[in-house]
């Protein structure tokens, strides 16, 4: 396997570690996009994790070369393409482009239009060094009072396993999410219990001190269905809900071994 990854971010580097010794891997950061046509031609697998600006920068630069290659093609997208559904479940057939991530929806569709492409739609990502536990330790985890609102989330290592399962699976769009969408306030409360720390009080969204991006993230409400990835790829999330994921993280990390995570770990921060 000769894997070419555009965007060596958090999830991509977990994939690199997982495939160590099994593949020849090259990563391409934005500042080194130039002169990669030869790498594309040699690659057996191509994965992009780069979020779009006005356009998708990878397709804008190398769309023709990627389309002409015989490589397996993958793209890490976002379940934000589905917009706000008022808490309803969404699968891969749901309409796109109705939310705040219009550019992401356009990029998602552009990658999906490539013959043989696999598009993995991701909700909020968490994992070692970037989880509610890290934000709780940093004092940056308010419990926001949003009655009826739920989020889906995914452990980074379950994304990695989903992508690997996709290497042998048919092309198309796949939601990679855990099995239990839950309110953000419940996740923080459970994390505090694991750490033996006081549970913070509920606060209104306006008083939570969130960035504009994080406020927009909290303005959406949906449950993400993962049945297609299970049926078609044979994938199962090892961390099937936030409790399993946080327990695994609490067992393998300590306050001294982690650094504060961003206030909001959305799929755009892969």
Average pLDDT over residues 102-118: 96
pLDDT digits (tens, 9 = 90+) for 195-214: 999 999 999 988 888 888 88
Q: Which is nearest to 113 in space by CA: 172, 50, 192?
A: 172
Interacting residues of 203 by C-beta distance below 8 A, sequence separation 6+ = 142, 143, 144, 145
Q: What is the pLDDT of residue 67?
A: 97
Let me know the angle formed at the C-alpha of 247 by 155 and 7, rounded to the nearest 5 degrees: 20
User: 66-75, 98-107, 149-158, 250-259: which range is least confident on average?
Assistant: 250-259
- Statement: residue 43 has pLDDT above 50: yes
Q: Using a cut of 0.85, tell me whether the model's pTM lies above it.
A: yes
Domains of the chain: 2-269 (3.40.50.720)
Between β-strands 2-6 and 24-28, what pairing exists: parallel, antiparallel or unpaired?
parallel
Q: What is the pLDDT of residue 174?
A: 98
pLDDT digits (tens, 9 = 90+) for 55-83: 999 999 999 999 999 999 999 999 999 99
Interacting residues of 178 by C-beta distance below 8 A, sequence separation 6+ = 152, 153, 154, 155, 158, 226, 237, 239, 240, 241, 242, 245
- Statement: residue 263 has pLDDT above 50: no
Question: Band of the pLDDT at 30, cuts 50, 70, 90?
Answer: confident
Q: Which is nearest to 65 in space by CA: 113, 98, 114?
A: 114
Enclosing H/E stretch for 28: strand 24-28
Distance of CA 175 to the CA centre of its chain: 10
């Amino acid at each position: 396997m000769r894997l070419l990854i555009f965007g060596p971010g958090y999830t991509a580097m977990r994939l690199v570690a997982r495939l160590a010794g099994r593949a020849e891997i090259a990563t391409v950061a934005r500042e080194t996009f130039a002169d990669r046509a030869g790498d594309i031609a040699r690659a057996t697998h191509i994965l992009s994790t780069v979020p779009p600006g006005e356009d998708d920068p990878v397709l804008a630069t190398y769309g023709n070369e990627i389309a002409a290659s015989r490589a397996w093609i993958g793209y890490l997208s976002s379940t934000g393409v589905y917009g706000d559904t008022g808490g309803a479940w969404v699968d891969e057939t749901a309409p796109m482009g109705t939310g705040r991530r219009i550019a992401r929806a356009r990029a998602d569709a552009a990658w999906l239009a490539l013959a043989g492409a696999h598009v993995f739609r991701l909700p909020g990502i968490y994992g070692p060094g970037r989880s509610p536990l890290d934000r709780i330790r940093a004092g940056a985890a308010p419990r926001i009072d949003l009655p009826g609102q739920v989020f889906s989330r995914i452990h980074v290592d379950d994304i990695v396993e989903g992508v690997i399962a996709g290497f042998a699976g048919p092309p198309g769009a796949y939601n990679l999410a855990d099995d239990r969408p839950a309110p953000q306030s419940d996740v923080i409360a459970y994390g505090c219990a694991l750490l033996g720390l006081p549970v913070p009080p509920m606060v209104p969204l306006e008083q939570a001190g969130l960035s504009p991006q994080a406020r927009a993230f909290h303005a959406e409400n949906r449950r993400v269905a993962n049945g297609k990835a299970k049926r078609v790829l044979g994938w199962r999330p090892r961390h099937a809900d936030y409790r399993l994921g946080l327990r695994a993280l609490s067992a393998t990390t300590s306050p001294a071994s982690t650094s504060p995570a961003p206030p909001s770990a959305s799929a755009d921060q892969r």
